[in-house]
Amino acid sequence: MPHDVEIAVLGAGVVGCAVARALARRGHDVWVLEAASRPGTGISSRNSGVIHAGIQDPPSSLRTRACVEGRRRLVAYCRARAVPHRVCGKFVVAHTRAQVEALEGVLARAHAAGVTEARPVSPGVVVARAPCLRRPLAALLVPVTGIVDPHALVSALGADVERAGGKMVFACKVAAIELAGAGFTLRTSRGPVTVRRLVNAAGLGAAALARSVAPHAPPVHPCRGDYVRLRRPPPLDLPVYPVRTPGDPGLGLHLTPDLHGDVRLGPSAYYVDEPAALGGAPDLGPFVSAARTLLAGEVSAADLAYVDCGIRPKLRGRGERAERDFLLLEDPPGALHLLGIESPGLTAALALGRIVADWARGGGGDDVTRAAGHGAAEPAVGATVRMPRPGPVRR
């Protein structure tokens, strides 16, 4: 393994690959160190594949801003690189009076985030576009939402890294980060690597790695989401979301078609003890009732089959009611840890790449939280230069 790599990116998920691509394209010497034998086997292969519009979080949050910028970049990228995707729009449907009232807030937030394409549509428009749906009381259409093949996306980004002169190193698990002079030594399963700077994009493993060099980095709380498949997929060409229940750590069980005509319902959202808690199938009861709310016609457990799950790396802990923002924590100087990159991280990846490339050039703006520097006794997360500690994201 080489010494004196300029920038190492830890993790080859969609975020690590997008970051490494942006860095390599700006001429940096970049190595991507990935524990698995290929890119994109972590969270990036276990999600809904939705290109989000950016209407779920507060407009000023990094989650929203990176989502809106990332979505535009992602759609352009998919078109340029022939990554399978479709900008199909989505419905947000209200089936109760409380949801109808909440829908107004969703629309206002969408417009405040610059997603001006979001608009109310009549229940008749919903069932005309998708006759398989139960007629809602009210609905929004968000035309800029899309779906993408996440595997093809990560492959394309990884190929771009190498094309731009970066290096992808697989089967290379980073066990710890250590300070070494003006840079760092990475203890890896393939021996030590000396780097001048690093970007920790290790997904569910990022918080543990961060703590080896930034003891005050916040923990990440694994939050599992299960998916079921409709055995007889209804003809549906766009995602259909309920109005989010306040305090829910997920967006609510929603219908998502993939690019091949299958339709999934999920993901659920519940905290688990281990980031690798992928085993076991869920109780189908909540899925049956969500399907009965969203779909016209009778649905029973026999119509649903458990598919898979993904685990969100949440900064929001069990029992907290409010979401937390993405955290790009530089601690100590030269080590940037990307923490809590849950949904909409797939959509936001190319924007995060741009922000990290700006950071590498000496910028990063208000999006990078800087702790106190080398040698500080207590490098507190709150000791930021340009941005207060990312607090709860109020909905």
Ligand X SMILES: Cc1cc2nc3c(=O)[nH]c(=O)nc-3n(C[C@H](O)[C@H](O)[C@H](O)COP(=O)(O)OP(=O)(O)OC[C@H]3O[C@@H](n4cnc5c(N)ncnc54)[C@H](O)[C@@H]3O)c2cc1C
Query: In the complex, which residues of this chain contact ligand X (CB under 6 A)?
Result: 10-16, 33-36, 41-44, 46-50, 52, 173-174, 201-205, 209, 225, 267, 310-312, 341-347
Q: Name which of 52 and 316 has its Cβ closer to ligand X.
A: 52
Least separation in angstroms between CB 148 and ligand X: 8
Q: Tell the residue number behind the tokens 């998708």, with chain if given.
A: 130
Least separation in angstroms between CB 174 and ligand X: 4
Which value, in Å, is the radius of gyration of the alpha carbons in the chain?
21
What sign has the CA pseudo-torsion 317, 386, 18, 150? positive
Least separation in angstroms between CB 11 and ligand X: 3
Q: Name which of 187 and 292 has its Cβ closer to ligand X.
A: 187
Question: Which residue, 20, 50, 24, 21, is CA-closest to 33?
Answer: 20
Bridge-based pairing of strands 335-339 and 191-200 is: parallel
What sign has the CA pseudo-torsion 35, 64, 225, 259? negative
Give how far Cα 358 sits from Cα of 167, 175, 210, 301, Å.
Answer: 20, 27, 21, 50
What sign has the CA pseudo-torsion 151, 154, 159, 160? positive
Give how far Cα 361 sits from Cα of 27, 165, 183, 197, 354, Å.
Answer: 11, 18, 16, 12, 11
Q: Name which of 73 and 138 has its Cβ closer to ligand X.
A: 73
Amino acid at 195: V
Q: Name which of 61 and 343 has its Cβ closer to ligand X.
A: 343
Q: Name which of 28 and 52 has its Cβ closer to ligand X.
A: 52
Bridge-based pairing of strands 138-142 and 119-121 is: antiparallel
- Tokens standing for 296? 């016209």
Q: Name which of 138 and 147 has its Cβ closer to ligand X.
A: 147
Q: Name which of 326 and 372 has its Cβ closer to ligand X.
A: 326
Strand partners, 205: none
CB 123 within 8 A of CB 131: no
Least separation in angstroms between CB 378 and ligand X: 25
d(CA 377, CA 40): 37
56 φ/ψ angles, rounded to the nearest 5 degrees:
-90, -25
- Tokens standing for 298? 């009778």
Least separation in angstroms between CB 288 and ligand X: 19
d(CA 135, CA 237): 17
Least separation in angstroms between CB 377 and ligand X: 27
Least separation in angstroms between CB 42 and ligand X: 2
Least separation in angstroms between CB 330 and ligand X: 17
The secondary structure element, H or E, covering residue 360 is: helix 345-360
Q: Name which of 211 and 395 has its Cβ closer to ligand X.
A: 211
Least separation in angstroms between CB 124 and ligand X: 28
Strands of 243-303 (E only): list them: 254-257, 263-266, 270-271
Q: Name which of 47 and 99 has its Cβ closer to ligand X.
A: 47
Least separation in angstroms between CB 240 and ligand X: 13
Q: Name which of 190 and 296 has its Cβ closer to ligand X.
A: 190
